[in-house]
Amino acid sequence: MPVVNLVFGRIVDTVLWPFQGLPPWFGLTAASLLTSLLMLEAYKLTSDQAAIRRAKDRIKAHLLEMRLYKDNMRASWGAQAGILKANLAYLAANLKPLAVMIVPLVLILARLGLWFDRAPLEPGRETLVKAKLAGAADPAALDLRLETPPFAEVSAPPVRIADEREVVWRIKALAAGRGRLTLRAGDRTAEKSLAVGGPELSKVSARASRGSFPDRVLYPGEPPLPDGAPVRSIEVIYPARRLAAFGLSVHWLAAYLVLSIAFGFALKGVFGVEI
């Protein structure tokens, strides 16, 4: 998994790196375009193009049949059954390419999430750092200390919540910077990245965890916490990033999917792909 994360991470970071100083829409558009090209090619290679074309032709033929024989109930019902059957055939023909594409798509989405899901803290703002404890550890009994990089400070004592096996700190961003938070419990430590300010589009990792498989897939932003770490996960609550479009606030994922689909349909003829 680390190798896969590394490869996908490098690719996505390389694509987005030139857009760091620009508003997020530019990077997102580029990512959508490249994703659609990749998916078109993957679709072309892994799908039975003839079967898809055949299924679509049959749907069109049955639609025409319905229109021509609208006064004949038997013919209409037969046409509808034909449309249903052709639809199922179309879906079946899509299963294989979808199964192939879903894996890289999830990995790409997880990497894109680092760039578009959260915004770095603004200098002067406060947020929470939440540490989830492993097992049945009692937060009051564990002498956990949070150390911040010089551009941030702890602005309130920790709240130790036994019910939730959680310790929460409030930190304040003092200036722009990139660095690491260090959590200490005796001689054991765990680290988590912290991002304050910086370019308009920049990578933000909200969570570091011990590294279960789903966590490694969904939170690929930093290496897993060591097994001997005093905590199960450390999370920084960064503000959600919303994209502004025509006076509306749009979630990046919705914008990404719409753009990718639009690019896919726009370019399918160029690449000779039947979707």
The order of strands in the sheet holding 177-185 is 144-147, 177-185, 188-196
State how far the Cα of 56 lies from the Cα of 35, in Å rounded to an integer. 25
- In the bound state with other proteins, the residue whose beta carbon lies nearer, of 166 and 191, is 166
The answer to whether the CB of 156 falls within 8 A of the CB of 129 is: no
CB of 196 to other proteins, least distance (A): 13
Interaction with other proteins in 222-261: which residues (CB under 8 A)? Answer: 237, 239, 244-249
Got the DSSP string for 154-177?
EEEEEEEETTTTEEEEEEEE-S-E
Q: Find the part of the chain contacting other proteins (CB under 8 A) among 61-69, 74-82, 90-98, 150-158.
A: 150-158
H or E stretch covering 61:
helix 49-68
Is residue 162 within the footprint of other proteins (CB under 8 A)? yes
To the nearest whole angstrom, how small is the minimum distance from the Cβ of residue 199 to other proteins?
Answer: 13
How is the beta sheet containing 231-236 ordered, strand by strand? Answer: 152-161, 166-173, 126-133, 231-236, 207-209
> Using the rule CB under 8 A, is 68 a contact of other proteins?
no
Question: In the set 14, 74, 150, 163, which binds other proteins (CB under 8 A)?
Answer: 163
Residue 25 interacting with other proteins (CB under 8 A): yes
Which tokens is 121 given? Answer: 């803290």
The residue from 48, 126, 215, 222 that contacts other proteins (CB under 8 A) is 126
Given 170, 178, 184, 188, the residue binding other proteins (CB under 8 A): 170
Residue 230 has, within 13 A of its CA and on its CB side, a CA count of 23
- Asked if residue 272 binds other proteins (CB under 8 A), the reply is no
Please count the other Cβ atoms lying within 10 Å of the Cβ belonging to residue 76: 17
Chain residues 103-122 in contact with other proteins, contact rule CB under 8 A: 122
Residue 157 binds to other proteins (criterion: CB under 8 A) = yes
The residues that touch other proteins, with contacts defined as CB under 8 A, are: 22-26, 122, 125-128, 140, 156-164, 168-170, 237, 239, 244-249
